Amino acid sequence: AGQAGVDNQKFNIQTSRKTLKRKFKWVAKRPDLIHVSSEIVRAMSLRLPVLGLETAIYTHGFPKPNNYELALEMEETVRANGAVPATIGILNGQILVGMTKEQLKELAESAGSEKTIKVSTRDIAYCIGQLGTPLNGGTTISATVSIAWMSGIGVVATGGLGGVHKGGETSMDISADLATLGKLKVSVITSGMKSFLDTSRTLEFLETQSVFVGTFGKRGEKVDIPGFYSRDSGYPSPNIIESPEEAANIIFNGNRLMMTNGSVFFNPIPKEFEISKSEMDPIIESAVEKSKLITGRDNTPAVLNEIKEQTQGRSVAANRELVLNNARIGAKVALGLKKLEE
């Protein structure tokens, strides 16, 4: 039985490699549609670990000019931790997987202009299909996961996850991040949902969509779903993950089983940078109240901006630290996964 198990494992690894190869060939044949940078093409063919990064955080989350600096720092952090960064975004109507410094600069500087939209999965074809002026797009987790999946990238790092908004049971404002992860096998490293979202309903929705949820921490200790600026949210994590290698092993086993659902690995903000929940809660509550007439995809950026004003920019500093930490852990997960696939 042991031998059969080994054969079975080999078979599954080969099958998943073949699927990746096929997908990658498909993408490589359509550079006008998805442009994969030469660095990422090389990394994929050498089977180096690749970590996908989103860009809505630069166009609609993080203020100029620090958004460009952050984009560079994210890439450096990924490299320093043993993986190749594939920043995903849309520039002048073209989907990019892996962006040059110049491209990152152009996208970051275009933030706030009419040309640059926040792109969710449903907006991808719209963004590249415009007959008039070509658009730029900052990709949300939803769009980033979709494009990563199309190009055979299995792990993505980001700041905050979208979710079910407070009052979502009547407004039905539920981020496409959640349903996309229910459909596509991509793993996301994130520091949680902000407390302007309904944590409990978001967890229920993810469970219904069969999206795995785990949080980095020590078994036997109290581990909450992290609250983005703070490490706790009041909601215990359904699962605890003790290391990036363990996360990689979970993804690896999902791949071997040919499961099709995505995973969320929550990575709490490092203690030294956290802003306590008791301090943030009233600020967030008032930010939500002030932004309540702004609907659709503009709501999240409006709330983030209010929070920034009310914390005199401290929220931005915390955001920077947590997202860099996710790049660090994400790179290690991608590296661990490649080791298992060897």
Q: Closest distance between ligand PSU and the C-beta of residue 256, in Å?
A: 28
Q: Does 123 bind Mn ion (CB under 5 A)?
A: no
Nearer to ligand PSU, 255 or 315 (CB): 315
DSSP state string for 76-103: HHHHHTT-EEEEEEEETTEEEES--HHH
- Residue 314, judged by CB atoms within 10 A of its CB (0-12, 13-18, 19+), counts as middle
Q: Closest distance between Mn ion and the C-beta of residue 293, in Å?
A: 14
Q: Closest distance between ligand PSU and the C-beta of residue 101, in Å?
A: 21
- Three-state SS across 91-153? ECCEEEECCCHHHHHHHHHCCCCCCEEEECHHHHHHHHCCCCCCCEEEECHHHHHHHHHHCCC
Q: Closest distance between ligand PSU and the C-beta of residue 13, in Å?
A: 31
Among the listed ranges 29-37, 216-224, 239-247, 296-304, the one in contact with ligand PSU (CB under 6 A) is 296-304
Q: Closest distance between Mn ion and the C-beta of residue 174, in Å?
A: 7
Q: Does 308 bind ligand PSU (CB under 6 A)?
A: no
Residue from the set 98, 152, 154, 160 that interacts with ligand PSU by CB under 6 A: 160
**Residues in the chain, overall count:** 342
**DSSP secondary structure code for residue 165 in this structure:** B
Among the listed ranges 67-75, 167-175, 187-195, 315-323, the one in contact with Mn ion (CB under 5 A) is 167-175
Say which entry of Mn ion, ligand PSU, none residue 140 contacts (CB below 5 to 8 A, set by partner kind): ligand PSU
Q: Does 162 bind ligand PSU (CB under 6 A)?
A: yes
Q: How far, in Å, are 21, 30, 159, 184 from residue 25 at the CA level?
A: 6, 9, 30, 19
> Hey, is 308 helix, strand or coil?
helix
**54 labelled catalytic:** yes
Nearer to Mn ion, 168 or 270 (CB): 168
Query: In whole angstroms, what is the distance from residue 69 CA to residue 195 CA?
Result: 27
Q: Which of 229, 342, 237 is nearest to 277 (CA)?
A: 229
H-only helix segments in 220-313: 244-256, 277-290, 299-310
Among the listed ranges 16-24, 125-133, 146-154, 173-181, the one in contact with ligand PSU (CB under 6 A) is 173-181
Nearer to ligand PSU, 57 or 148 (CB): 57
Pairing of strands 34-36, 94-97: parallel
CA atoms 176, 149, 187, 335: torsion sign: negative
Among the listed ranges 175-183, 238-246, 283-291, 330-338, the one in contact with ligand PSU (CB under 6 A) is 175-183
Say which entry of Mn ion, ligand PSU, none residue 54 contacts (CB below 5 to 8 A, set by partner kind): ligand PSU
> Hey, is 264 helix, strand or coil?
strand
Q: Does 224 bind Mn ion (CB under 5 A)?
A: no
Give residue number: closest CB to ligand PSU.
160
Residue 132 C-alpha from the chain's centroid: 30
**341 labelled catalytic:** no
Query: In whole angstroms, what is the distance from residue 136 CA to residue 245 CA?
Result: 36
Residue from the set 61, 85, 217, 330 that interacts with ligand PSU by CB under 6 A: 61
Q: Does 330 bind ligand PSU (CB under 6 A)?
A: no
State phi, psi for 295 to the nearest 5 degrees.
-115, 175
Choose, from 166, 185, 194, 332, the residue flagged as catalytic. 194
Q: Does 173 bind Mn ion (CB under 5 A)?
A: yes
Q: Which of 53, 225, 24 is nearest to 145 (CA)?
A: 53
Query: In whole angstroms, what is the distance from residue 63 CA to residue 311 CA?
Result: 14
Count the site residues for ligand PSU by CB under 6 A.
18
Q: Which residues are at the interface with ligand PSU (CB under 6 A)? A: 54, 56-57, 61, 120, 140-142, 159-160, 162, 175-177, 194, 297, 300, 304
Q: Which residues are at the interface with Mn ion (CB under 5 A)? A: 173
Residues forming the active site: 54, 194
